[in-house]
């Protein structure tokens, strides 16, 4: 199986188990689809709130040591007992010194999860009751939570009734109202009996020493009001300068978490109860212990990984993640999703990060777009992959692909072309790589002649008075989908420019970047930058959004470099432009565009969406008489380059959801501008028995030219 490591085998087994839970995935997908519009509406209504949150978090991390000391002093003056835990062991030992007996109730706390607090207390013989309804359902049913804010969203009403009935003597019906009624009564009685409560913190104010929490169920309000002892476990990154900053954090947590203006309950703990003899019992704790978890956080300050400390755990990134939608809590475990993988990595164990799902990130960048703090999770995943690669090296498949994409000699290319077969671990057999429907490659095989060789032989570019542009076709259009490259060249010639094309095959370097092989990526980048500098030209054009992402990444490859490569990479990025943007700006030179009555829809590539380019849609709308029916929502096709080789079954399931959405538009042609999407969706449509074709935007435009 391509010499897969023991770690890869373990994660594939985990994924296989997760994919068997199809009903859970369907429920998760449905619930996420309902919640996303609410969050989007909140975002639209508060365009300034993300910038404000980013400034708060950046300021907090820039002054974290000072703010921590200030917060500790203020909390102590409020009567709290504060312990700074440098490790998991320190935190557990301190909490052991507090708890001697009695019923313990718990609310949400990512820091408590980080130190495995509940498992630790259970081993000591204590009874710990989860008071969040979703967490309580999962606890009683011994099932894994599915989402930080909706732990039981993957469980049907029938399953919840089954879980409750196994615990209680009542025979509860699978009715949401009856189940909530029982849970409310049961949890309320538990909270009234509890001696100790454990909670986390959404934010801690350095200026007042206040601990701020937000929720919708009321369990946190009771947990911080009724039990006599309150233990707050929180990472030091929760500390922000002021109480006003705290309120902004909780507003964002509610808005991006569930799409509300503010949580139903917001609790601010700034002191202790006066005495134990009040007639009104739920008035606050007599003891508040705050465990501030450092546990490696200070070590990542000043590194790229520092950005994960900005996370407010709203969970919105998970709703848009195509992988998390399908396998849920198995991705990122014990945390969630790509950001969860990074949190595991930040604890210092790269192998654990790999098992959490280091290779599962598609690089679609939808999480980054969804995140109110714009945390660049895919870039940080690549950063951690680099560390993993340095420790273990590349797998044989990745090594073969990365090295050969760097430079594919003509002789080797001809040998591969003549055979057109590869071994696929996903199929467990040799698989032909060239299947055609109506002359289109469904699974790409190498073209007989490269685009570069065809260009040199058939195109004459001696028009030195014309504007020069560099066209960078990348691997897919140069070696596989040559017909797309030819369409792009034809369109560029119609705009009257002189085209400069690399004479030799050149990779953008993104496969090496995504694999964590930054040494090879830098070699590729240096070769490309040198070519671009020597070739001149006003702009560098690409018709592959993934290539554009790869080229845009060059400054990160050379960060800290003092030999000129960093500045050269910035100059390249400034010249870089997607073909659709360029063509839309020169639309009048293409002449009248028309395809009467042709029904089409559009699949927006993830890498293009991340670049916030809408030129594809603008070009489609410029074609007169076209029957354009937009798909309801942008989503990933599941290709992800090497991802689809490593996890073909998962990739296929993601693709099926996307193909279903596209086919609901009843198109004859699906338009896209990414060769990876073109290949993957073509295979998916073929799998569904559909006659719908997939065209690159360049092919559609050339088809639409009437003169």
Return the CATH number at 185.
3.40.50.10420
Residue 378 lies in a domain: no
- Digit-coded pLDDT (tens) for 229-248: 999 999 999 999 999 999 99
pTM reported for the whole predicted model:
0.88
Q: Which of 584, 600, 616 is the last residue of a domain?
A: 584
140 and 156 together in one domain: yes
Burial state string for 272-304 with b = 16 or more CB within 10 A and e = fewer than 16? bbeeeeeeeeeebbebbbbbbbbbebeebeeeb
Return the CATH number at 638.
3.40.50
- Digit-coded pLDDT (tens) for 390-427: 888 887 777 767 766 656 555 455 544 444 444 444 43
- Digit-coded pLDDT (tens) for 186-203: 999 999 999 999 999 999
293 and 417 together in one domain: no
Pairing of strands 669-672, 599-602: parallel
Domain that holds residue 682: 592-704
530 and 604 together in one domain: no
113 and 222 together in one domain: yes
Q: Which of 530, 553, 584 is the last residue of a domain?
A: 584
Q: How many residues does the chain have?
A: 707
Task: Determine phi and psi for 207, rounding to 5 degrees.
Answer: -75, -30
Residue 184 lies in a domain: yes
Nearest-angstrom CA–CA distance, 381 and 379? 5
Domain count across the chain: 3
- Digit-coded pLDDT (tens) for 545-586: 999 999 999 999 999 899 999 999 999 999 999 999 999 999
Q: Which pLDDT does position 183 carry in this prediction?
A: 93
Residue 346 lies in a domain: no
660 and 530 together in one domain: no
Q: Are 252 and 307 in contact (CB under 8 A)?
A: no
497 and 516 together in one domain: yes
49 and 176 together in one domain: yes
606 and 638 together in one domain: yes
Residue 6 lies in a domain: no
Give the chain's residues under pLDDT 50: 1-4, 279-280, 411, 415-442
Residue 620 lies in a domain: yes
Q: Which pLDDT does position 275 carry in this prediction?
A: 59
638 and 531 together in one domain: no
Q: Are 362 and 636 in contact (CB under 8 A)?
A: yes
Q: Which of 584, 613, 642 is the last residue of a domain?
A: 584
**Strand runs (DSSP E) across 394-544, as ranges?**
421-424, 429-432, 435-437, 440-443, 468-472, 498-500, 539-542
Q: Which pLDDT does position 410 carry in this prediction?
A: 56
507 and 604 together in one domain: no
Contacts for 501 with CB less than 8 Å, ≥ 6 apart:
451, 452, 455, 456, 470, 471, 473, 489
68 and 198 together in one domain: yes
Residue 1 lies in a domain: no
Residue 469 lies in a domain: yes
Q: Which pLDDT does position 600 carry in this prediction?
A: 97
CA atoms within 13 A on the CB side of 469: 22
Contacts for 44 with CB less than 8 Å, ≥ 6 apart:
none
Q: Kindly report the CA angle at 439 between 433 and 440, in degrees rounded to 5?
A: 55
Residue 387 lies in a domain: no
487 and 612 together in one domain: no
């Amino acid at each position: 199986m391509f010499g897969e490591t023991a770690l890869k085998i373990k994660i594939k087994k985990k994924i296989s188990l997760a994919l068997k839970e199809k009903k859970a995935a369907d429920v998760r997908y449905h619930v996420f689809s309902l919640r996303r519009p609410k969050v989007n509406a909140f975002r639209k209504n508060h365009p300034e709130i993300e910038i404000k949150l980013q400034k708060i978090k950046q300021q907090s991390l820039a002054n974290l040591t000072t703010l921590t000391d200030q917060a500790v002093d203020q909390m102590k003056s409020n009567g709290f007992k504060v312990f700074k835990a440098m490790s998991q062991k320190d935190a557990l030992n301190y909490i052991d010194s507090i708890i001697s007996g009695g019923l313990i109730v718990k609310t949400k706390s990512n820091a408590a999860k980080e130190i495995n607090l509940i498992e630790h207390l259970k081993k000591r013989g204590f009874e710990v009751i989860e008071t969040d309804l979703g967490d309580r359902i999962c606890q009683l049913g011994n099932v894994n939570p599915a989402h930080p804010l909706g732990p039981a969203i993957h469980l049907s009403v029938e399953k919840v009734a089954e879980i409750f009935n196994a615990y209680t003597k009542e025979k509860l019906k699978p009715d949401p109202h009856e189940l909530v009624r029982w849970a409310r009564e049961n949890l309320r009685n538990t909270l009234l009996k509890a001696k100790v409560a454990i909670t986390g913190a959404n934010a801690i104010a350095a200026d007042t020493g206040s601990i701020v929490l937000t929720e919708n169920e009321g369990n946190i309000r009771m947990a911080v009001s009724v039990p006599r002892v309150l233990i707050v476990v929180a990472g030091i990154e929760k500390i922000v300068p002021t109480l006003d900053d705290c309120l902004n954090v909780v507003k964002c947590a509610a808005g991006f978490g569930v799409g509300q203006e503010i949580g139903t309950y917001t609790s601010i703990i700034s002191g202790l109860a006066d005495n134990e003899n009040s007639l009104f019992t739920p008035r606050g704790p007599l003891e508040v212990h705050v465990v501030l978890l450092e546990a490696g956080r200070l070590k990542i300050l000043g590194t790229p990984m520092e950005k994960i400390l900005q996370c407010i755990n709203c969970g919105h990134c998970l709703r848009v993640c195509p992988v998390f939608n399908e396998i849920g809590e198995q991705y990122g475990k014990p945390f969630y999703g790509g950001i969860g993988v990074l949190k595991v990595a930040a604890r210092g164990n790269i192998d654990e990060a790999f098992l959490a799902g280091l290779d599962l990130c598609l690089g679609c960048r939808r999480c980054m777009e969804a995140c109110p703090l714009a945390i660049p999770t895919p870039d940080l995943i690549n950063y951690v992959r680099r560390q993993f690669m340095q420790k273990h090296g590349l797998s044989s498949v990745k090594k073969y692909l990365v090295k050969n994409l760097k430079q594919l000699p003509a002789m080797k290319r001809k040998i591969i072309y003549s055979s057109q077969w590869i071994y696929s671990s996903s199929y467990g057999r040799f698989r032909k790589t060239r299947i055609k429907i109506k002359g289109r490659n469904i699974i790409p095989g190498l073209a007989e002649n490269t685009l570069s060789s065809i260009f040199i032989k058939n195109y004459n570019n001696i028009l030195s008075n014309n504007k020069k542009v560099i066209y960078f076709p990348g691997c897919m259009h140069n070696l596989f989908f040559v017909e797309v490259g030819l369409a792009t060249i034809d369109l560029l010639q119609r705009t009257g420019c002189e085209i400069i094309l690399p004479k030799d095959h050149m990779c953008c370097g993104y496969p090496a970047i995504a694999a964590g092989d930054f040494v090879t990526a830098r070699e590729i980048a240096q070769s490309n930058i040198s070519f671009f500098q020597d070739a001149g030209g006003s702009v560098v054009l690409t018709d592959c959004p993934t290539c554009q992402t790869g080229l845009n990444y060059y400054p990160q490859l050379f960060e800290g470099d003092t030999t000129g490569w960093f500045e050269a990479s910035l100059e390249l990025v400034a010249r870089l432009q997607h073909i659709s943007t360029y063509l839309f700006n020169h639309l009048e030179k293409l002449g009248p565009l028309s395809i009467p009555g042709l029904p089409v829809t559009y699949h927006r590539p993830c890498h293009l969406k991340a670049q916030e380019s809408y030129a594809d849609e603008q070009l489609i709308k410029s074609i007169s008489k076209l029957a354009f029916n937009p798909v309801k929502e942008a989503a990933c096709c599941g290709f992800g380059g090497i991802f689809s080789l490593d996890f073909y079954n998962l990739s296929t399931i993601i693709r099926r959801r996307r193909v279903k959405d596209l086919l609901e538009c009843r198109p004859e042609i699906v338009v896209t501008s990414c060769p990876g999407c073109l290949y993957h969706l073509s295979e998916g449509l073929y799998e569904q028995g559909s006659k719908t074709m997939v065209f690159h935007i360049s092919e559609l435009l050339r088809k639409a030219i009437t003169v």
